[in-house]
């Protein structure tokens, strides 16, 4: 969310940024919010004038009564009553205008970094670097749920009866592998100096609107009926929410946390739910990382964070690439974002497994996350987030890249980094 004064002082820059993001429908919002804010300021000035006058006139009434000037005192009282009614109406107007300004303010996209490539959608994202050799298997790799089924590792039919489409049971060695990846990712991030955290799995609406756009909220979040609570779609939301309305001494920055949580998503929209696979599902588990830092350090942290993802995936023998999201593919709060994509030997293409984002001070402004500098002045922090691993999707890449077939049975090789979390096993074999 942009500062309202910044919008008023830089309307053309804000409009140009909207055009870069190919959100021309939002262009009228800039002039609208400036007009509303100016009206709000005028109403506020008049209200302040009446408040100051009320205090002054109240003293005059006492003096007139003391001097025996009852008629003048009564006339002054009537004036105070009239102004009190005007002030009451102005205060209602102030509140209405403030809500309208905030509503529009939260719809205007954040200013993207100058380094972000201009493009209309994800088809124009730009590959940065590839890591690891893309494998071309000598045998036909089965569909990922068929691989899992060969190890008695999945039951979607039973899950469909219990919960409906978009859910699954993970079983046996595949379930253990899923948990092993999460445990390894947890320790990997702890070794990087991050504090481990298990956050609340539900958040209030003020946190939801503080961390994401209205469009994302509608498409993702499950609302708890009758409660001001939403199931989290990703743990970064409750992690960032932990710092709502806080002032952190500058010397305590950066705050670096890594979290485990289940995640719940409606997956509403064009993508839908894939009936056969587990690429898009309503429930999954995830290890996440967030950073809260000084503004001048946020780009350094951005580069560290996506590099952590590359390092983690390469340690599990999974080829990946980094992809820079273009302007049209950035959510409204994001300043810059990289997707980390894993190589799929079956499809012979990459697919997204992580997303690293720098949100500047947008979330901090919405949530009141401030820093107290050495000089005593307060300023807004910068917030960043990145997926460590989301195993259902990550498992697809893991299984395909570590699968072998001898003509009779399938074998999944366990990379050295993961073996301690799999009871020392170097491989698992199909049943």
Is 112 within a domain?
no
Q: Please indicate, yes or no, whether residues 97 and 147 belong to a single structural domain of this protein.
A: no
How much is the pLDDT for 50? 85
Q: Please indicate, yes or no, whether residues 139 and 59 belong to a single structural domain of this protein.
A: no
Cα–Cα dist 366/212, whole Å: 10
Q: Does the pLDDT of residue 174 top 90, yes or no? A: yes
Q: Please indicate, yes or no, whether residues 198 and 57 belong to a single structural domain of this protein.
A: no
115 with 336: CB under 8 angstroms? yes
Is 115 within a domain?
no
Q: Please indicate, yes or no, whether residues 288 and 349 belong to a single structural domain of this protein.
A: yes
CATH number at residue 139: 3.30.930.10
How much is the pLDDT for 101? 97
Q: Please indicate, yes or no, whether residues 98 and 166 belong to a single structural domain of this protein.
A: no
DSSP for 325-345, written as a single string: PPGGGS-TT-SEEEEEEEEET
The pair phi, psi for residue 179, each rounded to 5°, is -70, -35
Measured CA to CA in angstroms, residue 94 lies from 45, 139, 220 at distances of 10, 69, 33
Q: Record the tokens describing residue 291, joined without a space.
A: 């950073």
Q: Record the tokens describing residue 412, joined without a space.
A: 């999944």
Is 193 within a domain?
yes
Q: Please indicate, yes or no, whether residues 373 and 422 belong to a single structural domain of this protein.
A: yes
Q: Please indicate, yes or no, whether residues 70 and 161 belong to a single structural domain of this protein.
A: no
What does the mean pLDDT of the chain come to? 92
* 122-170: pLDDT as tens digits: 999 999 999 999 988 899 999 999 999 999 999 999 999 999 988 999 9
Q: Does the pLDDT of residue 215 top 80, yes or no? A: no
* 305-346: pLDDT as tens digits: 999 999 999 999 999 999 999 999 999 999 999 999 999 999
Q: What percent of the chain has pLDDT over 90?
A: 81
Q: Record the tokens describing residue 301, joined without a space.
A: 């942290």
From 82, 51, 50, select the one nearest 74 (Cα to Cα). 82
Of 105, 139, 167, which residue sits at a domain end?
105
Sign, CA torsion 412/413/417/418: positive
Element (H, E) at 356: strand 349-358
User: What is the maximum span of the chain, computed from C-alpha positions, in angstroms?
Assistant: 111
How much is the pLDDT for 66? 61
Sort strands 154-155 and 222-223 into parallel, antiparallel or unpaired.
Answer: unpaired
Sign, CA torsion 38/42/47/52: positive
129 with 322: CB under 8 angstroms? yes
Is 393 within a domain?
yes
The pair phi, psi for residue 317, each rounded to 5°, is 60, 35
pLDDT band per the 50, 70, 90 thresholds, residue 270: very low
**Does the N-terminal peptide bond of residue 254 adopt cis geometry, omega within 30 degrees of 0?**
yes
Q: Does the pLDDT of residue 268 top 70, yes or no? A: no
Contact residues for 138 (Cβ-Cβ < 8 A; gap 6+): none
Q: Please indicate, yes or no, whether residues 234 and 354 belong to a single structural domain of this protein.
A: yes
* 352-376: pLDDT as tens digits: 999 999 999 999 999 999 999 999 9
Q: Please indicate, yes or no, whether residues 127 and 88 belong to a single structural domain of this protein.
A: no
Extended strands (E) in 345-421: 349-358, 369-372, 378-380, 382-389, 403-405, 410-413
327 with 127: CB under 8 angstroms? no
Residue 276's domain comprises: 122-429
Contact residues for 10 (Cβ-Cβ < 8 A; gap 6+): none
DSSP for 218-247, written as a single string: HHHPEEPTTSS-EE-SSHHHHHHHTTTTEE
How much is the pLDDT for 158? 96
Cut 0.85: pTM above it = yes
* 58-102: pLDDT as tens digits: 666 666 666 667 677 667 667 777 778 888 999 999 999 999 999
Q: Please indicate, yes or no, whether residues 163 and 60 belong to a single structural domain of this protein.
A: no
Does residue 366 sit in helix, strand or coil? helix
pLDDT band per the 50, 70, 90 thresholds, residue 273: very low
How much is the pLDDT for 13? 98
């Amino acid at each position: 969310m942009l500062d309202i004064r910044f919008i008023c002082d830089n309307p053309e820059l804000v409009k140009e940024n909207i055009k870069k993001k190919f959100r021309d429908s939002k262009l009228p919002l800039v002039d609208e919010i400036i007009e509303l804010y100016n009206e709000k300021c005028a109403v506020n000035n008049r209200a302040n004038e009446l408040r100051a006058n009320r205090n002054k006139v109240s003293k005059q009434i006492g003096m007139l009564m003391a001097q025996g000037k009852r008629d003048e005192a009564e006339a002054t009282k009537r004036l105070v009553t009239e102004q009190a009614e005007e002030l009451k109406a102005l205060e209602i107007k102030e509140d209405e205008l403030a809500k309208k300004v905030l509503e529009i303010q939260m719809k205007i996209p954040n200013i993207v970094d100058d380094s972000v490539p201009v493009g209309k959608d994800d088809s124009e994202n730009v590959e940065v670097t590839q890591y690891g050799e893309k494998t071309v298997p000598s045998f036909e790799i089965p569909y990922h749920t068929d691989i899992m089924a060969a190890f008695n590792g999945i039951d979607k039919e039973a899950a469909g009866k219990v919960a409906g489409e978009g859910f699954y049971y993970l079983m046996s060695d595949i379930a253990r592998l899923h948990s092993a990846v999460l445990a390894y990712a947890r320790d990997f991030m702890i070794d990087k100096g991050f504090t481990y955290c298990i956050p609340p799995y539900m958040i209030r609406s003020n946190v939801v609107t503080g961390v994401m756009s209205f469009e994302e909220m509608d498409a993702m979040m499950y609302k708890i009926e009758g409660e001001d609570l939403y199931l989290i779609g990703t743990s970064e939301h409750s992690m960032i929410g932990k710092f709502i309305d806080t002032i952190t001494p500058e010397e305590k920055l950066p705050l670096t946390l890594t979290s485990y949580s289940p995640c719940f998503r409606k997956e509403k929209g064009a993508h839908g739910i894939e009936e056969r696979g587990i690429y898009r599902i309503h429930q999954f588990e995830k290890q996440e990382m967030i950073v809260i830092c000084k503004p001048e350090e946020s780009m350094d942290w951005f580069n560290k964070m996506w590099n952590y993802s590359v390092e983690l995936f390469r340690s599990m023998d999974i080829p990946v690439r980094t992809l820079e999201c273009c302007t049209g593919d950035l959510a409204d709060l994001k300043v810059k974002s990289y997707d980390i994509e894993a190589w799929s030997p079956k499809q012979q293409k990459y697919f997204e497994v992580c997303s690293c984002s720098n949100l500047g001070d947008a979330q901090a402004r919405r949530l009141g996350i401030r820093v107290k500098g050495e000089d005593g002045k307060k300023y807004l922090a910068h917030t960043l987030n990145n997926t460590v691993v989301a195993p259902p999707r990550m498992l697809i890449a893991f299984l395909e890249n570590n699968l072998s077939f001898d003509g009779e049975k399938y074998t999944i090789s366990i990379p050295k980094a993961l073996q301690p979390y799999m009871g020392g096993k170097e491989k698992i074999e199909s049943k």
